[in-house]
Structure 1
Amino acid sequence: MKNKLRIIGGDWRSRQLSFVDAPGLRPTPARVRETVFNWLRYEISGKQCLDLYSGSGALGFEAASRGAKSVIQVENNIQACRSLKDNIVALSATQIKTVQSDVLRYLAGDAQVFDVVFLDPPFGLSLVIQTCQLLEQNAWLAKHAKIYVETERHFDFFGMPENWRLLKSKSAGEVGYHLFERAEV
């Protein structure tokens, strides 16, 4: 596998992870991850995290490296799941669990409450709004959960849950990245 990325902070800082080359899989760039985890610096340690459309696992592994109590990675692609599981073994990352499933099907199942959610779906498939609505409607989120959403640069957030407040938003190249906070309904 030629595809590699480095964890940029925490216990596994500088450790290298391998991932597969799969359609729609584009790991969050290191400089974007650095900004996101600066935004979340006080929100990760000891928290329950959900990494949807996990792909390379960059966001979930970064959260675990920075002290997340648990991370659930949800990914549909079988080869990507194999890579995620191989990286879990390589890091002895007992706090990370990988679930091979379609994200929308997973969110239709029995809910578990998460403090932080990473949402980075393949671009161009119109999955962001529907995924955010399922997170809210099906009770997957803690009272003041933080939700990181990575989108195309010029994304229209019409239809997002009304009780979510945008805290931060930036762009890098063709990628927009945004941090929301859930207010209790």
Structure 2
Amino acid sequence: MTKNRPGSGQVRIIAGQWRSRRLPIKDLEGLRPTTDRVRETLFNWLSGYLTGANVLDCFAGSGALSLEALSRYAAFARIHELQRSAAEQLQTNLATLKCDNAEVIIGDSLQLLNRPADKRFDIVFIDPPFRKGLAAQAIALVQQHGWLNDGALIYVEVEAELHGLPLPPQWQPLKEKQAGQVSYRLYCYQEEAN
């Protein structure tokens, strides 16, 4: 995130139809946009899977992950964000990009996920505020309530010191890296566990 004035910042879209676009984001407590370097690695992992994918961004914050996916031709993104001002900024940024294939839902992602899925997703981003135990809860709810298409890819970003994240047996680890205080991982959901 680059600062341009007190109280706000920017997020840069790395590639795709909106490549190099810089969009304003709110400077809010707990808002921790995924760094360009981590996003570049993640989207290298996801290349070949994004075009036409339905994306669920569980803890959107700046929206960097869902905006990047949409820029790279994801078909649709559902974006959950708890903080109203961050969600409103996301809606403004989507309007600026003339993007009409995304919906921003203001609310607690754990509550939103704790109900039977009304849609299944191909790519899910779980990048919650650190040190609150939210990743494990979101993983359980996404699995329990049927939010995943068979073969879905799930990205989980957590604090580096967090070990032993409980995973459903249907989730196969694909990739894992660490950058400073951040551990980031990619899983594949298979309806029939091996």
Shorter-chain TM-score tier: over 0.9
The match for 1:53 among 55, 59, 74 is 59
Structure 2 counterpart SS, 1:3? strand
Amino acid at match of 2:81: E
Does 2:187 align with 1:177? Answer: no
Q: How far, CA to CA, are the matches of 2:165 and 2:70 in structure 1?
A: 32
Structure 1 counterpart SS, 2:174? strand
Partner of 1:167: 174
Alignment of 1:57-136 (within 5 A): 57-111=63-117, 112-136=119-143
Whether the 8 Å CA contact 2:116–2:146 is kept in 1: the answer is no
The match for 2:36 among 24, 30, 40 is 30
1:2 CA drift (Å): 2.9
Amino acid at match of 2:138: T
1:40 CA drift (Å): 0.3
Higher relative contact order (CA 8 A, sep 6+): 1
1:154 CA drift (Å): 2.2
1:22 CA drift (Å): 1.4
Structure 1 counterpart SS, 2:177? strand
Does 2:138 align with 1:148? Answer: no
State the TM-score, normalizing by the size of structure 1.
0.97
Identity percentage over the alignment? 42
Structure 2 counterpart SS, 1:72? strand
Which region of structure 1 is more displaced relative to structure 2, 151-160 or 42-51?
A: 151-160
1:123 CA drift (Å): 0.2
Offset from partner CA, 1:54-108 (integer Å, 9 cap, x none): 0000000000000000001100100101110110111011111100010011001
Structure 1 counterpart SS, 2:167? coil
Amino acid at match of 1:46: G
Amino acid at match of 1:177: Y
1:138 CA drift (Å): 0.3
Q: How far, CA to CA, are the matches of 1:159 and 1:2 in structure 2?
A: 35
Q: How far, CA to CA, are the matches of 2:92 and 2:145 in structure 1?
A: 31
Q: How far, CA to CA, are the matches of 2:74 and 2:88 in structure 1?
A: 22
The count of corresponding residues between Structure 1 and Structure 2 is 185
Q: How far, CA to CA, are the matches of 1:25 and 1:120 in structure 2?
A: 11
Q: How far, CA to CA, are the matches of 1:120 and 1:93 in structure 2?
A: 22
Which region of structure 1 is more displaced relative to structure 2, 133-142 or 106-115?
A: 106-115
Q: How far, CA to CA, are the matches of 1:56 and 1:157 in structure 2?
A: 27
